[in-house]
Chain A
Amino acid sequence: MSATTIEAPRSPARQAPKRGVNWEKWGWIYMRASGVVLVVLIFGHLFFNLVLGEGISGINFGFVGGKLADPFWQWWDVAMLWLALIHGGNGMRTLINDYATLPMTRGVLKSAVLAAVVVLIVLGTLVVFTFDPCPPGSPADLLPSFCAAQ
């Protein structure tokens, strides 16, 4: 009882991608992982800044400076900065891939997003870690309350 033997398939028209890091897959996973963490970070951020105390009206250099003097909030904001920018940047890349069909436009737009993300991550990180909550010579009423004690 011999069944028909079937020969090897023709080679696929689109070559199977080579092994190695698969950016599409990891991008997809990253969107989800960062999303979960971002919910906590962003909701915490919004709650602390907009809901507690006087909300938006209470925000000024003194408030922010006071927060960022605390390593806890420093790391909170830096984490949010990195995760959100990369998340958003990757999301924008998806959109560009979807809607920009010309290779030129695609390239330009994606470079722009990449540049914005890199610049802002560097800038933001530097700001958070290098800034001085009590810059000398500034009017004391603008500064966090603890500056006076210095």
Chain B
Amino acid sequence: MPFYIVQFLTGLASAASLFLVASGLSIIFGVTRIVNFAHGAFYMLGAYVAFTLTDRFSGALGFWGGIVVAALIIAAVGVLVEMALLRRIYHSPELFQLLATFGLTLMVEDLVVLIWGPSELLGRRAPGFKGAVDFFGQNIPSYDLFLIALGPIVLGILWLLFQRTRWGVLVRAATQDRDMVAALGVNQKWLFTSVFAVGVFLAALGGALQIPRDAVHHAMDLRIIVDVFVVVVIGGLGSIIGAFVAAVLVSELNAFGILIFPKISIILVFLVMAAVLIVRPWGLFGKQEGPARRTPGLTVNPWRTLTSGEQLAATAALIIAAALPLFSGNYALTIGSEIPRWRACR
């Protein structure tokens, strides 16, 4: 029995970080309707910057201060990204947004390898939470206990932020109807920027808090982003409570799943996601979106239709491509066949 309790607590500890990152993604999506694929990159940057700061400044203050400052620095980076990139693409189709944020992720990965090198980095253990607590013969890392407590605390703070502050009320209003919020005199730009900053802060904090138990490395972003998407989808897009419950659900499934099906723990989570979506298509705490309040005519086509000249050019290009094997060498053929097959690598 103690083993199962410890396994449960271990699952809760894993849930804490997942919740932080997922709630950030959920908040950003709720208001801006942007599926921020770069969220994992901010998580990773949080971990790297926290690694550098905690390495540079010793002592308990150096560690905890480093964690918080790292998250703040990355939140500031998030603000710059929002202003420079996202503001330009809020009205683009989802696919463009996804591509843009995905591109950002790739850039951040390369940047991280350039700055911090390719090897895994081992962060400091948290002062005061280095060892483990004995629980009827089972060991629970005290840092896990810290994380277990942190999850609900952050949830509570977020709840207060959203329910008890004017900012929170505006964010919730904007989640439902952005245009109406603007029509009441609220500057959406800064509202979006602040929401993005909060979301990125949560992601970076989640990453920074991982350094005592994880390796800091350049693939952390992709590792977390899949889990985070699963959590957000199960919990319901835009719901913070949902993100919390789903993070706990996913982590516990993982913790107990490996005891029964060690080899399929990867798919287990997706099976649960599928099951949840069948029963509740909007996730556990998600709400069905009302009919889109889109003013007729405002749906602008992202693509201009081709002029007749351009259509001719496209046809010509197609004919050239089709005729390539008749006269070109191996190399041109390889490249030629690669172009239509092009996809974002990785």
Same assembly: no
Q: Which residues of B contact A (CB under 8 A)?
A: none
